Each structure stands twice: as C-alpha cells, then as structure tokens.
C-alpha cells in the first residue's frame, strides 16, 4: 500500500503521574481532654456544615458558667443602682468605676467559660465525608488526639503534578487530560489553576495544581492518575502511517515512491525523525514533506531502488525485482 503524507498542527505531550486532592480536607483534633459523652461520627458517613460531631464532658464548665451568669446579672443591677446614686452625688465616682470594672470582669468570665465549652463541642466546619475511626462514648481523649479525617464534598477536586525544569512553564488555564489507572478508556479534562513560585529543592521540578470537575467522575482524594501534559507550542508536522516506518540500528526510515522521467515508480529509502505516535499514525518531525508519496503496508519488503507498480485505485503497490539504470545498492 502507499499513502500521501499530510501535514497538520501537532502538540507534543508527555505523560506524568498526578495525585487527586480534595478541595477541603482536615484532621479533627481535640483541644481539650476528657471523656466522650456524645458521638455523632459515623465512619464513612456524611456530615453537614455546623453539625455536632462529638461532645467531651463539660458539666463542670456548665455549672461554672451558670454561677458566672448569676454574678453578672447581680452586678449589672448594682451598676444601674450606683449610676442613679452617683447622679445624686450619694456615692463617689471611684465606687461607680469599681462597680463597672467588676461587671466587666464577670462578663469576661462568661466569655472564657463559653469558649471552654465550645472547645468540647466539636462541630463540622464544612460538608464532608467522615473517615474511619475507633471512637466510642466513654473513651477518654488526651489533648490533641487525632480523631478522624474529614474530606470535603465539593463540585471539584484538585490534581497536583510535577513537571521537570527541562520543560517550559505551563500557563494558567492550560488544559491537561487525566486517565484513571483502573479505567484507561475514560478521559477527564482539567485546567491548571496555580503554579508553585519555586521549584522543589531536591528534584528541581515545578509543582502545578489543576482543577477537575467531579460531576460524573469517581475520584478519591490521594488517588493516583496519569496526567497528559502539553509541552512546547503547536507546530506543523507531517503524519504518516506507523507501518511506513522501517527501523534498524542506523535510525528510522521510510520508502519514498518516486517516478523517473519515463513515469516508472521506484522506492527510495529516506531517513526521518519520529515524533509522538497517536494510534496508527506517527508524527514526523524531520526528513519528510507534506504531499510526498510513500510506501505503507508492506514497506518492510522494499529496498532502495526497487521498481514498484500502482496496480489499482486502492493504491496497491507491486514490487518488481529489477533495478533502474544508474541505481546502485
């Protein structure tokens, strides 16, 4: 068979590994020690923003808060009475100031106890999936215990990947293509949204983050994916069938089908430079021009200077074991 070479816009790519990251994720840690009195954390379940996840015992703080509120109410009444007495010059300004200061102190005690209780009632900061845990009611939690992980539920996720310094920096909004390791047929597009300000110290690679929609895509945080990244700019190249390429220890070749002055067709071996292979085609980056007639299927049977005949409209090529004059092997 023979084919005409044709040119087109070609974008080179490389395949690298990327890691899926949730847009929101955190590890729950308790700031205060104590026993668990209420637990609403179902392993693998879903929690919503503001939901109470667990409570640590805080009965003592609640009692202290009630006392502080009673003191505040009483002192507030005293301040109102002192203001009335001060206006009629029955008490000194110092007495009024001391009364107001004591009221502020009681208010601060209320705020302090309220904050302590809030630290023992842990709520969800956003809608998320709950990680697997071994928590149970009655379990004593030391301070700063790692409780479980929350993975946010959003309409998008991140994919992080590293690109060696030998390649040009990708622009924001550059499109990359993701392939799942367990489903090679599914292709997912993502767009670069951020670039690290500096290369990694040891690997000398630049980190990128792309945004990927998860509407119909089953992606998990920390999942490994293959990322197809464009490198360089688009350029016009020649595309030919991969079957046309002959390889040996000296390089890559194709057979040109040239006509002599008498209209006879002969095979001529020509060295080419190969680019990326896409399906049954391979990009030629050097050594071949668009519109050139070359041998494709069966090209491995040819040799330099062999006579060839186009037999029919299907571009079938017949080889003849005769050499044209003035052709040496």
The string of DSSP letters for 74-105 reads: HHHHHHHHHHHHHHTTSS-HHHHHHHHHHHHH
For residues 25 and 222, the answer to whether their CB atoms sit within 8 Å is no
Give the whole-angstrom CA distance, residue 25 versus residue 217: 19
Q: For residue range 112-170, what is the model confidence (pLDDT) as tens digits? A: 999 999 999 999 999 999 999 999 999 999 999 999 999 999 999 999 999 998 888 99
What pTM was estimated for this model as a whole?
0.69
Centroid of chain to Cα 154: 14
Domains and CATH numbers, the chain: 13-23+154-230 (2.40.30.170), 25-57+120-152 (2.40.50.100), 59-119 (1.10.287.470), 235-320 (2.40.420.20)
Alpha helices in 20-89 (DSSP H): 59-87
- Cβ proximity of 142 and 13 under 8 Å: no
Number of helices and strands in the chain (H, E): 2, 24
Residue 320 makes CB contacts below 8 A (sequence gap 6+) with 306, 307, 308, 309
**Which tens digits make up the pLDDT trace of 243-279?**
888 888 888 988 888 888 787 888 888 898 887 787 7
Please report the pLDDT score of residue 312 as a whole number.
Answer: 46
Tell me which residue of 129, 105, 308 sits closest to 214, measured CA to CA.
Answer: 129
Strands of 146-264 (E only): list them.
146-152, 156-164, 175-180, 183-195, 205-213, 224-230, 235-241, 246-248, 251-259
CA 210, CA 201: separation in Å to the nearest integer?
22
pLDDT (tens digit per residue) in 22-46: 999 999 999 999 999 999 999 999 9
pLDDT for res 4: 60
pLDDT at position 274: 85
Q: What are phi and psi of 155, to 5 degrees?
A: -85, 0
Mean pLDDT value across the chain:
86
Contact 323, 305 (CB under 8 A): yes
Alpha-carbon distances of 317 from 216, 267, 287, 297, 321, rounded to whole Å: 49, 10, 23, 9, 13
Look at residue 3 in the predicted model and tell me its pLDDT.
61
CA distance 290 to 29: 65
8-12, 75-79, 229-233: range with lowest mean pLDDT: 8-12
pLDDT above 50 for 320 = no
CA distance 86 to 101: 16
Give kind and range of the element (H or E) at residue 115: helix 93-119
Which pLDDT belongs to residue 6? 61
């Amino acid at each position: 068979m023979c084919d005409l070479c044709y040119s087109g816009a070609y974008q080179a790519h490389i395949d690298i590994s990327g890691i899926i990251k949730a847009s929101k994720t955190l590890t729950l840690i308790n700031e205060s020690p104590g026993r668990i009195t209420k637990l609403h954390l179902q392993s693998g379940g879903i929690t919503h923003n503001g939901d109470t996840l667990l409570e640590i015992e805080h009965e003592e703080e609640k009692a202290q808060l009630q006392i502080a509120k009673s003191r505040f109410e009483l002192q507030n009444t005293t301040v109102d009475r002192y203001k009335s007495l001060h206006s009629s010059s029955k008490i000194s300004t110092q007495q009024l100031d001391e009364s107001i200061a004591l009221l502020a102190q009681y208010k601060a005690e209320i705020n302090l106890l309220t904050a302590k209780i809030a630290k023992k009632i842990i709520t969800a900061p956003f809608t998320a999936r709950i990680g697997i845990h071994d928590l149970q009611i009655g379990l004593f939690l030391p301070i700063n215990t790692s409780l479980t992980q929350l993975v946010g539920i959003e309409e998008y996720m991140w994919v992080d990947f590293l690109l060696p310094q030998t390649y040009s920096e990708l622009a924001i909004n550059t499109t990359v293509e993701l392939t799942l390791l367990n489903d090679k047929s599914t292709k997912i597009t993502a767009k670069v949204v951020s670039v690290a300000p500096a290369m990694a110290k040891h690997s000398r690679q630049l980190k990128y983050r792309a945004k990927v929609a998860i509407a119909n895509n089953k992606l998990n945080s920390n999942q490994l994916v293959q990322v197809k990244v464009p490198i360089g700019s688009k350029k016009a190249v020649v595309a030919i069938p991969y079957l046309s390429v002959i390889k040996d220890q000296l390089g890559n070749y194709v057979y040109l089908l040239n006509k002599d002055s008498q209209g006879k067709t002969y095979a001529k071996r020509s060295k080419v430079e190969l680019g990326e292979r896409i399906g049954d085609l391979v990009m030629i980056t050097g050594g071949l021009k668009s519109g050139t007639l070359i041998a494709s299927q069966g090209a491995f049977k040819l040799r330099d200077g062999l006579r060839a005949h186009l037999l029919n409209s299907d571009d079938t090529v017949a080889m003849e074991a005769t050499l044209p004059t003035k052709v040496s092997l």
